């Protein structure tokens, strides 16, 4: 679980920052942001479950 959270902080937060900047600059819309957040949180949850099972 700890590793998944660390990975989220390091990699996913950067990807979310990029999409937020794209939305703020008008290069992407809120649907793109919503999809990105959903995907990143789903990956985090999947990683946590995987670590708990192992």
pLDDT in tens, 29-41: 999 999 999 999 9
**From the CA atom positions of the chain, what is the Rg in Å?**
13
Average pLDDT over all residues of the chain: 92
The residue extents of the domains of the chain are 2-53
Q: Supply the DSSP symbol for 14.
A: H
Query: How many secondary structure helices (H) and strands (E) does the chain include?
Result: 3, 0
pLDDT (0 to 100) of residue 5: 86
Tens of pLDDT along 1-28?
788 888 888 888 889 999 999 999 999 9
Predicted structure pTM score: 0.79
Residue pair 54/40 in contact (Cβ under 8 Å)? The answer is: no
Per DSSP, 26 falls in state: T
Q: In the prediction, which pLDDT does 3 show? A: 86
Q: Write the CB contacts of 23 (distance below 8 Å, at least 6 apart in sequence).
A: 29, 30, 32, 33
pLDDT at 9: 87
């Amino acid at each position: 679980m700890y590793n998944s959270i660390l990975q989220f902080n390091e990699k996913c937060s950067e990807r979310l920052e990029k999409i937020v900047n794209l939305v703020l600059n008008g290069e992407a819309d809120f649907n793109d942001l919503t999809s990105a957040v959903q995907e990143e949180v789903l990956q985090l949850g999947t990683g946590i479950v995987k670590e708990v099972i192992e």
